[in-house]
A and B are shown apart, each in its own frame.
Chain A
Amino acid sequence: MKVLSTEGLTKLIDLIKSSFISNEDTQATVAVDAVETTAVDAVETNVADESSLTVGSVINQRDNTTAIKTWTGTLAQYNAIATKDNNTLYNITDDVNMSQTLLETLYPVGAIYIGTMVSCPLAALFGTWTKIGDGRVLQNSDSNHAAGTTIEAGLPNHTHSASSNETGAHTHTVGGSDSTTTNPRDGFDLEGNNLYYRTTNINTSSAGKHSHTITVGNVNNNNIYGNSTTVQPPAFVVNIWQRTA
């Protein structure tokens, strides 16, 4: 769609707005009527030479005296005008359309667009758009993560321990009984050609009260555990702003 240049549109908006400033409803209606009837006549001439404009064809309602003039030309011609006239509507025939100018402003390089469409709708209008963040959530940048980087998944590690210290001092039993009563053995003993061993249970010496600890780290050998101090999904880092005023 081809529309007014940004500046042209701004001036046209100002023109319309000025018709209503400080006017009661009845006055505003009159003003609009004046704009409509006179503006059409004026612009139909499509005058390129400012000097030939008839003062009074369209009046700037802000001061009610200044003539609104029109100008038509190319963007190059427009840019060649050193001093733009605040009371001239510039119709730039080959200017990029206002929509694209606005879009370019809103979406500079580095901007992010989010949607559920299969392709970025802005790609057909301007710029090069690259799909990013596959399988990742968007996360605001911080001092440790700059925008444009990624963060891998992570969780705090699990460490589990179990202890057996409820029974206090205790002993462990070694099974078996003495195979000979004449010379009790503590374990295996070779006397001559005879092998003697214990066949009755005996107790080991007490180790006193102690605990046994089982520690599990790096659960399941999955590196996700221990890879973060928080619950960190795989993320793509962006800058996020909130308009506050």
Chain B
Amino acid sequence: MSIYKGTDMLAGVPNISGAINATLEAIYPVGSIYIGTQSTCPLATIISGSTWVKVSEGRVLQGSDSSHNAGTTIAAGLPNITGSMSSPKQLNANYNLSTATGAFSSGGQHGGSNSIIGPSSSNATYQALANFSAQSSNSIYGNSSTVQPPAYVVNIWERTA
């Protein structure tokens, strides 16, 4: 086709915007992402018939992988932090944590067996156990095996040739 022929010339005016629109359609088909600092998407008024929805609010864009498909979201997460600790051994005394809050929890009392330092079977040592799990304080911990900000999953391509 040559737009120089016949009535195509008359169609030249709409064809200009049509050509540009076709180009923009090629760049921005349904599912494409536009990023800018403008308050509204400028393409909404440029590409006729297009609808643009603000997505990913409060989220970073993250490339899709086998576990996360494009168009889905990922909640924030961090690896959990766990641990435990015990008090010094106490002879012949029940020994429990009196207070454990937040990420701490009581692991109960450990011991009661015969003590090697005691002179008789009546002597025993006890230890108080404290467990730590950051997840108990904030559910972000343990929600990921990496540093995961709240994310919107997209497909990312790089032109390599």
Interface residues of A (CB under 8 A from B): 1-4, 9, 12-13, 16, 36, 39-40, 43-44, 46, 70, 72, 89, 91, 93, 98-99, 102-103, 106-118, 120-123, 125, 127-138, 153-155, 158, 173-177, 197, 199, 214, 216, 219-220, 222, 224-225, 228, 231-234, 236, 242
Question: What sequence of 0s and 1s flags, for each residue 96-125 of chain B, a beta carbon within 8 Å of any chain A beta carbon?
Answer: 000000000000000000010111000100
Interface centre among B5, B63, B151, by most A CB within 10 Å? B63
Considering the chains assembled together, what is the distance between the CA atoms of A36 and B117 in angstroms?
111
Contact status of A3 and B3, CB under 8 A, knowing A40-B10, A109-B160, A114-B33: yes
Task: Determine if B79 and A222 form an interchain contact, defined as CB atoms under 8 angstroms apart.
Answer: yes
Task: Determine if A133 and B146 form an interchain contact, defined as CB atoms under 8 angstroms apart.
Answer: no
Q: For chain B, residues 58 to 94, give those with C-beta under 8 angstroms from any C-beta of chain A.
A: 60-68, 70-71, 78-83, 85, 91-92
Considering the chains assembled together, what is the distance between the CA atoms of A132 and B158 in angstroms?
6
Q: What secondary structure prevails in chain A residues at the interface with B?
A: mixed
Considering the chains assembled together, what is the distance between the CA atoms of A4 and B68 in angstroms?
42
Task: Determine if B147 and A114 form an interchain contact, defined as CB atoms under 8 angstroms apart.
Answer: no
Interface contacts beyond A98-B23, A108-B159, A137-B61: sample of 18 additional A-B pairs, CB < 8 Å, sorted by A: A3-B15, A91-B2, A99-B22, A99-B23, A109-B161, A111-B159, A112-B157, A115-B155, A117-B29, A121-B26, A128-B160, A130-B160, A131-B155, A131-B157, A134-B63, A233-B60, A236-B156, A242-B36
Query: Which residue of the partner chain, among A70, A154, A155, A177, contacts B4 with CB atoms under 8 Å?
Result: A70
Contacts of A9 in B (CB 8 A): 16, 19
Cβ of B49 < 8 Å from any Cβ of A?
A: no
Contacts of B36 in A (CB 8 A): 242
Question: What sequence of 0s and 1s flags, for each residue 138-161 of chain B, a beta carbon within 8 Å of any chain A beta carbon?
Answer: 000000001111010011111111
**Selected A-B contacts with CB under 8 Å, 24 pairs:** A3-B15, A36-B9, A89-B4, A98-B19, A98-B23, A110-B158, A113-B156, A114-B61, A116-B31, A116-B33, A116-B71, A117-B30, A121-B29, A127-B161, A129-B159, A130-B160, A132-B63, A134-B65, A174-B117, A175-B115, A175-B117, A225-B79, A231-B149, A242-B36
Contacts of A89 in B (CB 8 A): 4
Considering the chains assembled together, what is the distance between the CA atoms of A233 and B62 in angstroms?
10
Task: Determine if A155 and B147 form an interchain contact, defined as CB atoms under 8 angstroms apart.
Answer: yes
Considering the chains assembled together, what is the distance between the CA atoms of A224 and B141 in angstroms?
13
Task: Determine if A216 and B83 form an interchain contact, defined as CB atoms under 8 angstroms apart.
Answer: yes
B39 to chain A, nearest CB (A): 14
Q: For chain B, residues 27 to 69, give those with C-beta under 8 angstroms from any C-beta of chain A.
A: 27, 29-33, 35-37, 60-68
Task: Determine if B26 and A103 form an interchain contact, defined as CB atoms under 8 angstroms apart.
Answer: yes
Contacts of B63 in A (CB 8 A): 131-138, 236
Query: Which residue of the partner chain, among A3, A99, A111, A136, contacts B158 with CB atoms under 8 Å?
Result: A111
A47 to chain B, nearest CB (A): 10
